Structure 1
């Protein structure tokens, strides 16, 4: 039986060629829901007789497929995951979603539901490209850890060693008050401070930075970082966990130390070795059909946020490490699996086992715990490694988690987990604001955990 294929066709009038870009959605295939499987050019006269067979399909699934039952998952429970996600789409709560689960390096679940573009009724595909916002942070953190392992920097190096503008920072005298008197910071910001978000810097969208026009997409990374260095800190380095623009500053450190533009470094040292072809700082013109549009949830229903699409469809002057990447569920599953494999995937090593431990185990002292995105909602279950949040006390999570689990989320509705205890990685991607609406990520995680019926 032939797979069900969808193709978009572009015309080359000069060479009288058509270029077909095809993807397969036949769930009977072992690599079902594979997407972007081929690009082929053929003479115009062949268009009417083009036949594609299964043997011609080269799947672009994130990881090899595995049989759920053989990997300890209940097919019935996984069907419930699909049923639940479909309910949220059909009820108009979310426009669309892609979800993926892998165990011991093999995919047991990959499903796409709903719409990439609600108005145009463009179906969601499993290789749809999402703005992953803060899920960019672990990628940049990995780049820094690679440079550390090459002996090109140290965790206790002052940032001013690479960016002199950070040499003489001031700090507001009252913690949490972003105006008034300032004094010299008690010490310099280090690379480790930036990785752990204890640098004293503020969030990229904070009132502190907005009032001072710190962030502009028209700036280069170098220009933005110099502006950041010109604003007083909200706390002395090392004293307060404050989720911040630190990772964007780290991106500039990567450029200075490596001598490469940030996107070039990531491509050569992370994205290519891990085979993540759909991850980068913008969606290329020939992949716009993969772009998922952003919607805001309101009492009146879902409202399109067109302004959020524009920057991501052009090559940006600002390579924003804290929040600038686009990616897919298949790509990010590969990224997480490399950490589950202790820094290696398909024979390509991107980090040592010791480096993985530094990134995926809590590195914060008790004095700065608990961490909190909102001071009124401390996250007593979590700590922070040199790249990921880390579950330290699952009993305080409020939903299914295991100690040692690591991952992070993005502010437009992207979520990721890796659980060494069960050998499971999972990614859930939507494009909605507010991203925590309906707490769908916790529900998905609970259903995922309930689906594991055999431990091994």
Structure 2
């Protein structure tokens, strides 16, 4: 892997104001000092030049350990773009088609039913699927699969009773459990965030004949020089940790133990990574599927992935506005969803700055990235602050664009 980023000591050479970039550092530092969050790594690159790469505050507040630029983070749903790229690589090899029914690769989904009025029903009634769920549905979250907290009482209880999301099960055991449960919506009708990308990870395993961790680490991370990324356990001396919540006296419960590798290789949320590693992945997408002389995807495939795949009449799960706010993939925000990430498709609707065609996604752990092809810009924020995550997604957008003056 021959590609290396240039580091400029003069952000002005890449169209940024040094004084205005300092505003981002100052506001993050104030929040860290106020103990709102333990620490962060912020990274901004433009036209292949790193204009900002700062480690702020503490990697682990309780251990009084300083944040480092190479600290390792649970990137949560920022795993989804890598799993999506894995599937598209297999599609380019002719080993799968995203138009195919999922049941062609995972037969357990052949008889899947759909819950009737899943958002409100207190008892679980089902109906037949009007059409099969496809691999494309998994990629764009229109499969009808959901997360338990985002659905109504009856289906939520069914997910809980089945033990869906148990870190002790394998991907094969996970999909076997999930396929026995009804979908929340008819396939193709509704954008609903959920376990779609986890099922996609199992499709990658079946088609490739490799475990998901081996495929991603060998075919994506190793080839892009992402040496600090993977599903493996992390040395405690490098793992960024959320701080203890003073109200409960505990760390937030939604983050897995970083120093232990779970049996469940979650294609939707299981990866660990660093800001610099994720920058290499983003630059590959920005450069049309290649990083230096290493090509993972064709430009045409990247254009397909970064196009809006939601139909004009698509419905949206009722929790989408609450979960993602101004960055939700909703018509009112001018944001759609491609194959693995959100895509801005209109100007003047989203309250946050950006460009038409920018693609982005985030993690419940507090991580966030976006790629702006028009500005040749990549921005990444890594922190482990799940309860405060929305504030910092908004803040990062505003602070990056206000600093870009040329």
State TM-score, norm by structure 2. 0.91
C-alpha contact (below 8 Å) 2:7/2:49 kept by paired residues: yes
Select which of 73, 77, 85 maps to 1:142: 85
User: Counterpart of 1:401?
Assistant: 354
Q: For 1:409 and 1:62, how far apart are their aligned partners in 2?
A: 25
C-alpha contact (below 8 Å) 2:343/2:358 kept by paired residues: yes
Q: For 2:220 and 2:133, how far apart are their aligned partners in 1?
A: 26
* Structure 1 residue 283: Cα displacement: 3.0
User: Counterpart of 1:214?
Assistant: 164
Q: For 1:221 and 1:156, how far apart are their aligned partners in 2?
A: 22
Q: Is 1:229 the equivalent of 2:172?
A: no
Q: Closer, same or farther in 2 for the Cα pair 1:128/1:266, shift >3 Å?
A: same
User: Counterpart of 2:292?
Assistant: 346
C-alpha contact (below 8 Å) 1:176/1:235 kept by paired residues: no
* Structure 1 residue 371: Cα displacement: 7.2
- Alignment of structure 1 residues 316-335 onto 2, 5 Å: 316-335=262-281
Q: For 1:219 and 1:431, how far apart are their aligned partners in 2?
A: 25
C-alpha contact (below 8 Å) 1:383/1:391 kept by paired residues: yes
Q: Is 1:131 the equivalent of 2:77?
A: no
Select which of 126, 131, 149 maps to 1:187: 131
Aligned length in residues: 389
User: Counterpart of 1:442?
Assistant: 394
Cα deviation digits, residues 260-286 of structure 1 (max 9, x gap): 1111111111001111111111334xx
Q: Is 1:203 the equivalent of 2:147?
A: yes
Q: For 2:354 and 2:184, how far apart are their aligned partners in 1?
A: 32
Q: Is 1:256 the equivalent of 2:256?
A: no
C-alpha contact (below 8 Å) 2:100/2:135 kept by paired residues: yes
C-alpha contact (below 8 Å) 1:293/1:304 kept by paired residues: no
Q: Closer, same or farther in 2 for the Cα pair 1:310/1:154, shift >3 Å?
A: closer
- Greater C-alpha radius of gyration: 1
* Structure 1 residue 149: Cα displacement: 0.5
Select which of 336, 340, 365 maps to 1:383: 336
Select which of 363, 367, 372 maps to 2:313: 367
Q: Closer, same or farther in 2 for the Cα pair 1:306/1:400, shift >3 Å?
A: closer
Q: Is 1:241 the equivalent of 2:187?
A: no
Q: Is 1:63 the equivalent of 2:9?
A: no
Q: Closer, same or farther in 2 for the Cα pair 1:322/1:362, shift >3 Å?
A: same
Q: For 2:268 and 2:217, how far apart are their aligned partners in 1?
A: 17
* Structure 1 residue 291: Cα displacement: 0.1
* Structure 1 residue 225: Cα displacement: 0.7
- Alignment of structure 1 residues 257-296 onto 2, 5 Å: 257-284=207-234, 287-295=235-243
User: Counterpart of 2:282?
Assistant: 336
Q: Which runs of 5+ in 1 are unaligned?
A: 1-60
Q: Closer, same or farther in 2 for the Cα pair 1:434/1:135, shift >3 Å?
A: same
Relative contact order, higher structure (CA 8 A, sep 6+):
2
SS at match of 1:198: coil
* Structure 1 residue 449: Cα displacement: 0.5
Cα deviation digits, residues 298-350 of structure 1 (max 9, x gap): 6x4x9542866663312221100011111111111111111110011121001
User: Counterpart of 2:385?
Assistant: 432
Q: Is 1:416 the equivalent of 2:369?
A: yes
SS at match of 1:444: helix
SS at match of 1:168: coil
* Structure 1 residue 258: Cα displacement: 0.5
CA RMSD of aligned residues (A): 2.1
